[in-house]
Chains A and B, each alone.
Chain A
């Protein structure tokens, strides 16, 4: 029989045998940090604003997630419950729990507690019963799924039912063209109970911002209703194997849903892992859409590298371009009308880390219908 990897208590804190033992341990930790604080004349009071439940299947992912949450502790005081569902079929099935206060001395005014639940063996169906008693009462629950969510499995549903918001990263989905449309169904069935969001959606917010700003300019605004073509580039690895067009698809889904475009045909692969398909404007005009992979050193796979929107209005041709710099954390935006350069600006465009993305999402407590609308377009594009 293989030896189970032991949970490192120096990382995850003391092991406890039950939920009530765990609560006692947390109280003890709080008291000792409290005693320390009172010596310094600071009475301990704590603010907490949310529960964060994290799901991972490997301890290494869980550790990474925990480090991310640690960084956010002061901005989003929370109780974090990290689940590691270790499915290696060795040893008897069991759940074990650990807890710690990551900042016993610093930031006493905020509450940040971290709990690890490790499930060993095929014990997913037990998980929810361990999570429920650990949630801080009456605070929103964010469920962060660190890999492709198993949308069909009952235990996913059980955990989702606890949540006010589901956070996924479609950048990690094995087959985003299949999972994204199904995520739409999950989002729609959430109605007023929970919202769904996606780090890839957060990543393209600056791109949406920049494109929106083009069409705030009254003289360029008419071109928005007269788009004749769109090209979106996204980064791939050097040998072109890691193809993750989710951000590009979400961007197109967003633009299409805002402008009332409909799908003409299903997504069809074009050369080198790209996509080429047509959509239709409300006035019937067809718009060719091209999604192209590009290798760019320093960009993560899937990140948008640039986009070009072409338009014809009143006999004038216009192009609106956003191009990410290969070397600096910024983008260049360009507008040409009738072949004449009208505007060129350089705007900051960083590559936010996971903690920034998560931090941003934790500030939004409701569902984002704009995201759901974008997903709905992808559903139409993948039908048939």
Chain B
């Protein structure tokens, strides 16, 4: 079918009605899987509750299982009851939403033909008009075959098609490039939306607002004023049921390659010309290119890995990594990483970025700490200044989203005594009772075709270029694998890494 020309809708004007996407059909591959059940469908239902779905909208679930649309809807309802962030379920709204939900079994080529007819039919009957968003909620190994089948069965012909893919985007540079080439056989890069759900988080977006909507931070956001930066992504959870996946990935591929390097990019990037997909991602790419590669030879001196042994989390005993399900008893997979990185550009030359991530650390917390240099000259007696520490600006991503600034103040006594105080801005308590869920934000953006908060291929590749030599060094047997007890801040080697530079890790 041909796509009807889009006439502007004059009713859209104004600040309050801007977020609803245009009519669209959303095709979920892997519709019977975990991601669809836990994240995608609950997000769609909650968008329906906020009236953010277009009047002409359809969801088509596609998977191997042999289900009727009716059975599929029933399954989704069961999942929704468990996973929706708002409860109880508004049954009226659900039933009405469910009427726009369909299921097609895509076990074979015939299934894809049915899918093509279903979509063409919806374009006319439901008014989705050739706008299609394909969502790959399958294991990554299926991305390639699905893409081939989409192409073979001409699902993107003469329509506006986009695709959302979930990480991991490959397991090294080569496989990531191959995956991209595969996708780009059907979709242009502008039509590919790679989800890094960290970027959907309200506070991650707030990093850009803090830096670029304020005049006072940017002038000191550089090597002259910043002593070093610490980024921590800590989880108290272990690997849960994801042993098989995690054995292949490890902390390097699971966290560093995507979330951590994206945080580095947001903190380190230059100001974009505007908050749009191209400008923001161009700047992120630029700073990612400037991250100094850690060669195989340098891995020992700049990277510390570790693996958790048995220990305690919140007072309860937990297993060590090698005793977890689906994990080899002699596994060499890292669950902890500490990295000393540098950004070789005008702004950051010589300023270390200490990155740290791990499973089974004492608490779940993600934060970025900008540690400023100490005051250049000691004006006060050393006795008075005993309690003084350099200023720090801390951006907390989760939990307790917020910003705090540490500075020295006079203790109200006779004479001078100085102590550090924290000025705390708790984002959750100040603005948002219910911050929008990351998936809801990202799905709306993908439906609207706004790619600002999605990762572009060249970013992904650059991130692999950083990670690959480290992985390779380990594959060749370099480096120790110290154990750390679950519930501690990682192995002692990590403390040494930063102590060499005369600094210490924060206790977030």
Is there an interface contact between A47 and B426, defined as CB atoms closer than 8 Å? Answer: yes
Q: How far is the CA of A156 from the CA of B423 in the complex (A)?
A: 38
Shortest distance from the beta carbon of B486 to any chain A beta carbon, whole Å = 27
Kindly identify which residue among A110, A216, A219, A259 contacts B20, using a CB–CB cutoff of 8 Å. A216
Identify 18 residue pairs between A and B in the complex whose beta-carbon atoms are under 8 Å apart, listed by A's number: A47-B425, A47-B426, A205-B17, A209-B20, A212-B9, A215-B11, A216-B22, A217-B23, A217-B55, A217-B56, A221-B7, A221-B9, A335-B55, A343-B127, A345-B100, A347-B51, A347-B96, A370-B13
Which of chain A's residues has its CB closest to B425's CB? A47
Cα–Cα, bound, A369→B90 (Å): 35
A330 and B421: CB pair below 8 A?
no
Segment with Cβ contacts to A, from B172-180, B338-346, B427-435: B427-435
Partner of A209 from the list B4, B17, B95 (CB cut-off 8 Å) is: B17
| Beyond A212-B9, A217-B54, A335-B55, 16 extra complex contacts between A and B, CB < 8 Å | A47-B426, A47-B430, A109-B430, A205-B16, A208-B17, A212-B17, A216-B12, A216-B54, A218-B4, A218-B7, A222-B7, A224-B9, A258-B10, A330-B93, A342-B127, A345-B96
Task: Identify which of A110, A209, A330, A346 contacts B429 (C-beta below 8 A).
Answer: A110
Q: Does A88 contact B (CB under 8 A)?
A: no
B335 at the interface (CB under 8 A from A): no
Cβ of A219 and Cβ of B4 under 8 Å apart?
A: yes
Task: Find chain A residues with CB under 8 A from B99 CB.
Answer: 345
Interface status of B6 (Cβ within 8 A of chain A): yes
Q: Which of B54, B99, B431 has the most CB of A within 10 A?
A: B431
Cβ-defined contact, A212 with B15, below 8 A: no
Write the nearest CB–CB distance from A186 to chain B, whole angstroms: 20
Q: Mark B1-34, 1 if CB is under 8 A from A, else 0.
A: 0011111011111111100101100000000000
Closest-by-CB residue of B relative to A220 is B127
**Nearest neighbor of A48 in chain B, beta-carbon distance:** B430
Contact of A213 (CB < 8 Å), options: B14, B15, B20, B431: B20
**Which A residues lie within 8 Å of B17 (CB)?**
205, 208-209, 212
A216 to chain B minimum Cβ distance, whole angstroms, is 6
For B90, the chain A residues whose CB sits under 8 A away are 330, 348
Assuming A75-B431, A217-B127, is B424 touching A45 (CB within 8 A)?
yes
Evaluate contact between A216 and B10: CB separation under 8 angstroms. Answer: no
A14 interfacial contact with B, CB 8 Å:
no
Chain A: number of interface residues, binned into ranges: 35 or more
CB distance from B501 to the nearest CB of A (A): 29
Distance between Cα atoms of A258 and B16 in the complex (Å): 14
Q: Which residues of B contact A335 (CB under 8 A)?
A: 55
**Scoring B residues 403 to 440 as 1 if CB is less than 8 Å from chain A, else 0, what string do you get?**
00000000000000000011111100111110000000
Contact A343 B55, beta carbon cutoff 8 Å: yes
Q: How many residues from B make CB contacts under 8 Å with A? A: 46
Q: How far is the CB of B174 from chain A (nearest CB, A)?
A: 42
Say yes or no for A206: interface residue by CB 8 A criterion: yes
A68 to chain B, nearest CB (A): 15
Q: Is A211 positioned at the interface, with any CB of B under 8 Å from its CB?
A: yes
Proximity string of chain A (212-248) to chain B, C-beta cutoff 8 Å, 1 when within and 0 when not? 1111111111101000000000000000000000000
Closest B residue to A363 by beta carbon equals B431
CB distance from A275 to the nearest CB of B (A): 22
Q: Count chain B CB atoms within 10 A of each CB in A208, A255, A343 and give the residue with the most.
A: A343
* Residue numbers in B under 8 Å from A212 (CB-CB): 9, 11-12, 17, 20
**Neighbouring B residues of A109 by C-beta, 8 Å:** 424-426, 429-430
Answer whether residue A289 sits at the interface, using C-beta atoms and an 8 A cutoff. Answer: no
- A49 interfacial contact with B, CB 8 Å: yes
Determine if B11 and A368 form an interchain contact, defined as CB atoms under 8 angstroms apart.
no
Q: B149 on the interface (CB 8 Å rule)?
A: no
A binding-site residues for B, Cβ under 8 Å: 43, 45, 47, 49, 74-77, 107, 109-110, 205-206, 208-222, 224, 255, 258-259, 328, 330, 333, 335, 342-348, 364, 366, 368-370
**Chain B residues packing against A (C-beta within 8 Å):** 3-7, 9-17, 20, 22-23, 48-51, 54-56, 90, 92-93, 95-97, 99-100, 126-127, 129, 421-426, 429-433
Assuming the A-B contacts A217-B127, A219-B4, A343-B56, are A330 and B16 also in contact, with contact meaning beta carbons closer than 8 angstroms in the complex?
no
Q: Which residues of B contact A328 (CB under 8 A)?
A: 92
Instruction: Name the distance in Å between B89's Cβ and chain A's nearest Cβ.
Output: 12
Which of A208, A213, A335, A364 has most B Cβ within 10 Å?
A213
- Shortest C-beta distance, B163 to chain A (Å), equals 22
A307 → chain B closest CB, angstroms:
13
Contact A43 B422 (CB under 8 A): yes
Residue of A74, A206, A335, A345 with highest tally of chain B CB at under 10 A = A345
The answer on a CB contact under 8 Å between A110 and B430 is yes
* Interface-central residue, B50, B423, B429, B433, by most chain A CB under 10 Å: B429
State which of A77, A215, A255 has its C-beta within 8 Å of the C-beta of B430.
Answer: A77
B7 CB to nearest A CB, Å: 5
Given contacts A43-B422, A209-B51, A212-B17, contact A346 B129 (CB under 8 A): no
The answer on a CB contact under 8 Å between A214 and B430 is no
Judge whether A206 and B51 touch: CB under 8 Å.
yes
B129–A370 contact, CB under 8 A? no
Say yes or no: A45 contacts B423, CB within 8 Å: yes
Residues of A within 8 A of B422 (CB): 43, 45
The chain B residue with its CB closest to the CB of A320 is B55
Indicate whether A347 sits within 8 Å of B11 (C-beta atoms), given known contacts A43-B422, A47-B426, A218-B5: no
Closest to A364 in B: B15
Q: How far is the CB of B54 from chain A (nearest CB, A)?
A: 6
User: Which B residues lie within 8 Å of A366 (CB)?
Assistant: 15
* CB-defined contacts of A214 to chain B, threshold 8 Å: 55
Residues from chain B with Cβ under 8 Å of A255 in the complex: 11
Q: Chain A residues with Cβ under 8 A from B429's Cβ?
A: 47, 74, 107, 109-110
- Closest residue to A210 on the B side, CB-wise? B51
B101–chain A nearest beta-carbon distance, Å: 13
List A contacts of B421 (CB < 8 A).
Answer: 43, 45
Assembly CA distance A219 to B6 (angstroms): 9
A10 to chain B, nearest CB (A): 26
Q: How far is the CB of A254 from chain B (nearest CB, A)?
A: 8
Known contacts A258-B10, A348-B93; A74 and B433 CB within 8 A of each other: yes
Q: How far apart are the CA atoms of A93 and B48 in the complex, in Å?
A: 55
**A347 — nearest CB in chain B belongs to which residue?**
B51
**CB distance A348 to B426 under 8 Å?**
no
Most buried by B among A109, A206, A224: A109
Taken together as a complex, chains A and B put the C-alpha atoms of A368 and B16 apart, in Å, by 9
Residues in chain A near residue B6, CB distance under 8 A: 218
Distance in Å: Cβ of B203 to nearest Cβ of chain A: 15
Complex: chain A residue closest to B19, CB-CB: A209
Q: Provide the residues of chain B in CB contact with A215, threshold 8 Å.
A: 9, 11
Is B23's CB under 8 angstroms from A218's CB?
Answer: yes
Other-chain contact of B11, A208, A219, A345 (Cβ < 8 Å): A208
